[in-house]
Amino acid sequence: MLFMAGAVLALLIAYVLLSWLANAPRRQLAYVLMILILSAVLIVGIVMFVTGRLTTALPLLLSALAGMWRQRWVVRWIARNLLGGGPGSGAAGPATVSTPWLDMTLDRRSGALSGRVKQGAFAGRDLGDLSLDDLIALYEDLARAHGESARLLETFLDREHGAAWRQRTAAGPGAGAAGAGAGGGGAMTRAEALSILGLPEDADADEVRHAHRRLIRKLHPDQGGSSYLAAKINQAKDYLLAGRH
């Protein structure tokens, strides 16, 4: 029974790894071998320990744990790529685009879009908590005050309320885009590019490309895609990869 449980666990681990390998950055494939070796030694050690073979189990367990401790990057890699750990683990987080008026977040897994107002009459409010009338009022304010923020809000309105909302605003379709040059975001910084792709500071080129591919898929027209967000994500990728070739 214990060996059967061990076999099932090994199959589950193999399934997770194979699923990840389908989209894994090429450079990180070498990490898989290390993980498989350490995991295999650990599983065998646990099985031996449970079955009472302490003389064999203890060296295996100590070797596996010592190997994981010496190669702490393996544990970090698992948290980042397989377990989806939180920000403290160095894991990739949600994609965030910020302007002086708005913080907009695109969830990397679900593709859900959320946002928060940073100033003005609705400061501190989540966009999801605002009525359509409130959102239109905010959009009209942004179309006059900050074109880039208006374009960002257009993305949320299009995804949550469809194109019909445009018929209800005096600003008219495309007003945010037309005013984007006034009060725009300026040159992108490394911190902004990492935030947009939801990556930690030490992300390498393969991780940048992987995050970019995943996010762009979430912006497909069938999922309420946004040309504005796609452009920001492309800009972030280009910025982070510049000089790495």
pLDDT tens column, 228-242: 888 889 999 999 998
Phi, psi of 97 (to 5 degrees): -115, 125
Domain positions in the chain are 2-88
Q: What's the mean per-residue pLDDT of the chain?
A: 75
**137-193 pLDDT, tens digit each:** 999 999 888 888 998 998 888 888 877 788 877 545 444 444 443 334 557 888 999
DSSP state of 102: E
Amino acid at 137: A
Cα–Cα dist 216/212, whole Å: 6
pLDDT higher than threshold 50 for residue 85: no
Average pLDDT over residues 6-24: 63
Any idea of the CA torsion for 109, 124, 229, 132, to the nearest 10 degrees?
A: 100
Average pLDDT over residues 52-63: 81
Instruction: Determine the 3-state secondary structure of 244 from DSSP.
Output: coil
Burial readout 117-126 (b: 16 or more C-beta within 10 A, e: otherwise): bbebebeebe
Give me the pLDDT at residue 124, please: 93
Give me the pLDDT at residue 122, please: 92
**Between these two residues, 184 and 72, which has the higher pLDDT value?**
72
DSSP H helical ranges for the chain: 2-21, 29-50, 54-70, 72-81, 132-145, 147-161, 175-178, 190-197, 205-218, 227-241
User: What's the number of CA atoms in the CB half-sphere (13 Å) around residue 86?
Assistant: 1
